Structure 1
């Protein structure tokens, strides 16, 4: 009787073992088709880049100033019974001095005899300034009444204006002029084989732009 029972159970064991084997092999694949199974979140990005402007550049960057500042910005409350809103920022910024070589006119280059070339360079400019957000952070905000984003934006705009002001006060235009002579005189001497005399056009610099 026992051999007969074993003959009946052996096929059942084989079927169970085969089912376990098949499930191990194809179970993960079948799980992918299960609409109720948890899935990894998928991210889809759609973009359409459009070229809006092509600008010819002739600005020679000659010096870059970097700044660190602690800005305490206070905005008066709208109602007198409310405290003033405050934000404290640790700000990193940079400003760039340059010459716009597109402003050199034909009459700005004159040859004197066979040995001298005289060049009048355009006035130095503060051509770019910005807050470096990778080097900046918000230290604290107070009494902003859930408007901290607006308060911090105002503080950063103020800090950016201070970057421009600090660069001009630190003499970035004079440094730009000195660097222009140090770089351009040897270069032009090599190109022309003449002694190079550099002058500066006395024109008020144009407005700086943000980076």
Structure 2
């Protein structure tokens, strides 16, 4: 009986050691699993994430030259218009374009490949856009000419935004805004990259 009492504490220590070793080995064999489909669905619900807005104020001049006959006779005067226009362009990333293959987990870091930044929309602020001067050919459709000038001013808003670096600013803001958001969704450290793809810039 005395022998049992003497070795009993050692048996407890040995059993605790065995239990700790088994538990440690079990933890080592646990595989980290990430449900990419679930994370992708959460990302897609964010849709087109607007990341930067540029505001512009410009003077737009449009001239429509009247047809000339025999180099000296013109069918009425040229049509001319000057607009003082204000508008905005918004840069975004369309998160619905992210594919499941764009999410890669290595160790405890989630690598997310983002679509290229784009201009979500650009438009004139019609309440702040006005005609500064107007001269039209009486033989031409004045309303149609004015509409043409507004469309031209709107295209200038897009061109100015691209020339001002709106796409690069969108990419930088994605790092600042989107990274902590995705880390919260995934529960992992996130590193963002941009998908290399051809981007068609249409100024029309």
Taking the TM superposition and a 5 Å limit, the aligned residue runs for 1:8-47 are none
- Tell me, in whole angstroms, the C-alpha distance in 2 between the residues paired with 1:189 and 1:209: 36
Question: Residue 111 of structure 1 is aligned with which of 105, 108, 112?
Answer: 105
- Tell me, in whole angstroms, the C-alpha distance in 2 between the residues paired with 1:126 and 1:206: 11
Which residue of structure 1 lines up, in the alignment, with residue 172 of structure 2?
Answer: 178
Which residue of structure 1 lines up, in the alignment, with residue 63 of structure 2?
Answer: 74
1:97 aligns with 2:86: no
Question: Could you report, residue by residue, the CA deviation over 1:132-151 in whole angstroms, capped at 9, with x for unpaired residues?
Answer: 11110111111432743222
The gaps in structure 2 that reach 5 residues or longer are: 1-44
The gaps in structure 1 that reach 5 residues or longer are: 1-55
Work out whether residues 84 and 131 of structure 2, in 8 Å CA contact, stay in contact via their aligned partners in 1.
Answer: yes
Residue 63 to residue 208, structure 1, CA distance change in 2 (3 Å):
farther
TM-score by length of 2: 0.69
TM-score by length of 1: 0.66
Which residue of structure 1 lines up, in the alignment, with residue 129 of structure 2?
Answer: 136
Which residue of structure 1 lines up, in the alignment, with residue 157 of structure 2?
Answer: 163
Moved over 6 A (4+): 207-210
Work out whether residues 95 and 115 of structure 2, in 8 Å CA contact, stay in contact via their aligned partners in 1.
Answer: yes
1:127 aligns with 2:120: yes
Taking the TM superposition and a 5 Å limit, the aligned residue runs for 1:78-89 are 78-79=67-68, 80-81=73-74, 82-89=76-83
Decide which moves more: 189-198 or 163-172: 189-198
> What displacement does 1:193 show?
3.3
- Tell me, in whole angstroms, the C-alpha distance in 1 between the residues paired with 2:203 and 2:133: 29
> What displacement does 1:182 show?
0.6
